[in-house]
A and B are shown apart, each in its own frame.
Chain A
């Protein structure tokens, strides 16, 4: 005779071993961790289209991600699926019209029909920048040395003479105690006991920088070109922000003339007509003269263009750019060429090349695809460090 079945836990509702932990939640958390890693590794792609330029650094972006799929061998999706169903229908009946979404019938676990549920991953911009720096293995920039900011007064040491307001009571009392331990009959305080805080002038290395973004907005610049330049500009700003506590941005757009815009307008600007690059460089040069003393600011200029410029403007552009470059820490040129093969082999590219060959701190980058933005950024930060150490 076999033992009878048993019935356990059917009466009490106490804590049981299975209440103590949830395996499902544990594995779900692990999944999410893997998603974060995956997103991190693909960050450049994920972010290429995200609209995160400028704005508040403590912001977050929400990146929609799919659940990870644990892959299995499966047959390819056939053009037609045969299946068995049950119900009140007759041959020839149309159960769903073309284009109609299929119900969730007939599919077990897994399957493409899992789509529809999406995970919205919230990423902090700050974290993203941090990850990117690791992923792209970018160096941290050094503030340009030799450029100094206004002297600053700092407290340092004590003196026996000084104004009342800087009297250090604690120090003075200490001196008095010292004296009276040798001479217990002495007075409570003498003038010799008094100590005053001393101020010294210190020269601080500059931590200010100004970044000029100049962009050709003539009709030949396509939407894609702007988008690429914009992405590049954004990450450059993020990189520079890691170094400079004060970073000012100046946006300049030009066609045959140049104008200064604020950030929100800058990327919306659309001009028409031709391209005279010298107009932008001259405006930058004048702005530096008026507002940004090179002895107090690290100056950066980034210029985005499709590479076309009026032939007649060649000399003027070269001259004005040379002047800017002589005052700047670094000048970057990003070209969005019409064809990949001819990248940087353009009218504007030639101007930059001439100056770079002459020793100006210039880097030139071609942006053709979303991925090339990351190559350009990597190259920029590497070259920048190289230029600095010269």
Chain B
């Protein structure tokens, strides 16, 4: 058996390139199942230590023991890409995984969001994350576990609160307001030359400090790292390490349906065309395929979640059938899940896939509502906005150093879970080291201010 995967892999690659897939080379490595599980928990093969990963790990372990979850592939984009194959998988299973990974590798090299993220974060995220882990380990040795944990408690809690539009590397805000008199704005000059009232003689005012931040700031990780009044250098480094990893995770999150669908489409297609794979192994691999992309468990009538592998796979099949491969390649380069779902999840496809919208009330009742396509798209995309987190911005830093946050509840449609928000503010307060307050609304839509330390 030894080497079979390698042989199949090489031939699959030839096939993939011939089909037009374009990707950085991938370093495949076969690893124990336990390691696969850890990678799934941490999101990266070697990542900073934090107790919260331990909790996820135990849940994963329980799921695994109960047979609910099997991990097939873990792949990290980059140049070279990295992929892990579970040692416990059979050769047909891993053959499928290799083909699947090639699909991902093509996607991450060509998709605009991935490209941008990799240009910013770098092409060796696996090594970079390992570097962060080492750096944080060293900080623990030097400053003690408790202090480092305080930083990570806050930073990881705010993991999703970055601003991908403004990018990873940013300058601090200018400290002073620009003097409008020095503004070269020609309109303004001409305005002042208009006949009429004498212009009041301009006094030379001292330069005015800019308010901080000049406009609402979404990148909480960046803002706190830059402006926390007493943050030490090593503490800032940890914050920024977490932030860098968040920028890496963002495209994975924002393109999940497309990306998994694309990889599933390609593993199915490559295997279908791989005449070097014996019939029996092909059937085993295809069996695995149908397990991965099935819409819901066979013993259930319906599922209250949509399997992104299945949805993406069906959408890509339809796009390639209807619009051709060239157009499909263009879509995989330019879109993300938002545009993908809005543009290509058509009413007839949704109907074919039997997608439906449901309402679950607090008392546990769940009712099927309708199959309205627009509402469906919204329901699929709703959990994906803003990196899946509530929209919270820094409004202002007050003169006493109080950090004033605002929850944009109108964007989110409702207020925050107060109990959790209080805890997060506690985390932040320990790092900001000045009071922290957050505006949101309560269940009746009335304003509600949460403070740390609590008033």
| CB pair A31 B55 closer than 8 Å | yes
B353: chain A residues within 8 A (beta carbon)? 86
Q: What is the distance, in angstroms, from B342's C-beta to the closest C-beta of chain A?
A: 14
Tell me, yes or no, whether A386 is within 8 Å of chain B by CB. no
Question: Interface 1/0s, chain B 43-70, versus A by CB < 8 A?
Answer: 0011101111111111111100000000
| CB pair B42 A23 closer than 8 Å | yes
Of A6, A70, A81, A83, which contacts B25 at CB under 8 A?
A6
> Given A73-B392, A73-B416, A102-B366, A81–B306 Cβ distance below 8 Å?
no
Tell me, yes or no, whether B313 is within 8 Å of chain A by CB. no
Question: Interface 1/0s, chain B 65-89, versus A by CB < 8 A?
Answer: 0000000000000001000010100
| CB pair B295 A73 closer than 8 Å | no
Q: What is the distance, in angstroms, from B116's C-beta to the closest C-beta of chain A?
A: 21
Tell me, yes or no, whether B107 is within 8 Å of chain A by CB. no
| CB pair A83 B358 closer than 8 Å | yes
Tell me, yes or no, whether B427 is within 8 Å of chain A by CB. yes
A27: chain B residues within 8 A (beta carbon)? 49-54, 57
| CB pair A28 B55 closer than 8 Å | yes
| CB pair A10 B389 closer than 8 Å | no
| CB pair B423 A85 closer than 8 Å | no
Of B47, B54, B306, which contacts A31 at CB under 8 A?
B54
Please measure, in the bound complex, the distance between the C-alpha atom of A4 and the C-alpha atom of B81, giving whole angstroms.
11
| CB pair B364 A99 closer than 8 Å | yes
A97: chain B residues within 8 A (beta carbon)? 364-365
| CB pair B30 A9 closer than 8 Å | yes
Residue on B nearest A90 in the bound complex, by CB: B368
| CB pair A13 B87 closer than 8 Å | yes
Residue on A nearest B369 in the bound complex, by CB: A91
| CB pair A75 B390 closer than 8 Å | yes
Q: What is the distance, in angstroms, from B42's C-beta to the closest C-beta of chain A?
A: 7
Q: What is the distance, in angstroms, from B119's C-beta to the closest C-beta of chain A?
A: 18
Please measure, in the bound complex, the distance between the C-alpha atom of A218 and the C-alpha atom of B326, giving whole angstroms.
89
Find residues 44-90 in chain A having any chain B CB closer than 8 Å to their own CB: 67-90
Please measure, in the bound complex, the distance between the C-alpha atom of A73 and the C-alpha atom of B35, giving whole angstroms.
30
A79: chain B residues within 8 A (beta carbon)? 361-362
Q: What is the distance, in angstroms, from B318's C-beta to the closest C-beta of chain A?
A: 16
Q: What is the distance, in angstroms, from A92's C-beta to the closest C-beta of chain B?
A: 6
> Given A10-B3, A98-B361, A26–B54 Cβ distance below 8 Å?
yes
| CB pair B30 A8 closer than 8 Å | yes
| Residue among B5, B35, B305 with the highest chain A CB neighbour number at 10 A | B305
Of B10, B47, B307, which contacts A23 at CB under 8 A?
B47
Of B54, B355, B420, which contacts A28 at CB under 8 A?
B54
| CB pair B302 A85 closer than 8 Å | yes
A34: chain B residues within 8 A (beta carbon)? 51
| CB pair A24 B41 closer than 8 Å | yes
| CB pair A105 B304 closer than 8 Å | yes
| Residue among B46, B51, B61 with the highest chain A CB neighbour number at 10 A | B51
| CB pair A24 B54 closer than 8 Å | yes
Please measure, in the bound complex, the distance between the C-alpha atom of A71 and the C-alpha atom of B302, giving whole angstroms.
32
A68: chain B residues within 8 A (beta carbon)? 51-52, 55
Find residues 331-378 in chain B having any chain A CB closer than 8 Å to their own CB: 353-371, 375-376, 378
Q: What is the distance, in angstroms, from A37's C-beta to the closest C-beta of chain B?
A: 10
> Given A84-B306, A89-B301, A98–B355 Cβ distance below 8 Å?
no
Please measure, in the bound complex, the distance between the C-alpha atom of A75 and the C-alpha atom of B424, giving whole angstroms.
13
Find residues 1-29 in chain A having any chain B CB closer than 8 Å to their own CB: 2-11, 13, 16, 18-19, 22-29
| CB pair B28 A95 closer than 8 Å | no
Q: Give the number of residues in B that approach A within 8 Å (Cβ atoms).
A: 103
Tell me, yes or no, whether B296 is within 8 Å of chain A by CB. yes
Q: Give the number of residues in A that approach B within 8 Å (Cβ atoms).
A: 69
Please measure, in the bound complex, the distance between the C-alpha atom of A11 and the C-alpha atom of B211, giving whole angstroms.
62
Of A31, A94, A101, which contacts B51 at CB under 8 A?
A31
Please measure, in the bound complex, the distance between the C-alpha atom of A30 and the C-alpha atom of B417, giving whole angstroms.
27
> Given A91-B370, A94-B366, A6–B302 Cβ distance below 8 Å?
no
B50: chain A residues within 8 A (beta carbon)? 27, 70
A105: chain B residues within 8 A (beta carbon)? 303-305
| CB pair A8 B305 closer than 8 Å | no
| CB pair B356 A86 closer than 8 Å | yes
A74: chain B residues within 8 A (beta carbon)? 390, 416-417, 420-421
Please measure, in the bound complex, the distance between the C-alpha atom of A24 and the C-alpha atom of B35, giving whole angstroms.
9
Tell me, yes or no, whether A114 is within 8 Å of chain B by CB. yes
| CB pair B31 A16 closer than 8 Å | yes
| CB pair A117 B62 closer than 8 Å | yes
Please measure, in the bound complex, the distance between the C-alpha atom of A327 and the C-alpha atom of B424, giving whole angstroms.
56
Tell me, yes or no, whether A265 is within 8 Å of chain B by CB. no
Please measure, in the bound complex, the distance between the C-alpha atom of A7 and the C-alpha atom of B366, giving whole angstroms.
48
Tell me, yes or no, whether A93 is within 8 Å of chain B by CB. yes
Tell me, yes or no, whether A273 is within 8 Å of chain B by CB. no
| CB pair A77 B365 closer than 8 Å | no
Residue on A nearest B381 in the bound complex, by CB: A84
Question: Interface 1/0s, chain B 1-41, versus A by CB < 8 A?
Answer: 01101100110010000000000111111111011011001
> Given A11-B2, A23-B42, A85-B302, A98–B35 Cβ distance below 8 Å?
no
B361: chain A residues within 8 A (beta carbon)? 79-81, 98
> Besides A32-B54, A88-B302, A105-B303, 12 other CB < 8 A contacts?
A4-B25, A10-B5, A11-B2, A31-B52, A73-B420, A79-B362, A85-B304, A86-B295, A92-B368, A94-B367, A96-B366, A100-B364
Among all A-B residue pairs, the 9 with the closest Cβ atoms: A87-B302, A27-B54, A24-B57, A28-B54, A70-B52, A71-B423, A106-B305, A84-B379, A11-B2
Sample (21) of A-B pairs whose CB atoms are under 8 Å apart: A5-B26, A5-B80, A9-B31, A10-B28, A10-B29, A23-B47, A24-B37, A29-B54, A30-B145, A70-B52, A73-B161, A73-B389, A75-B413, A75-B415, A76-B415, A83-B357, A86-B307, A86-B310, A89-B301, A91-B368, A94-B365
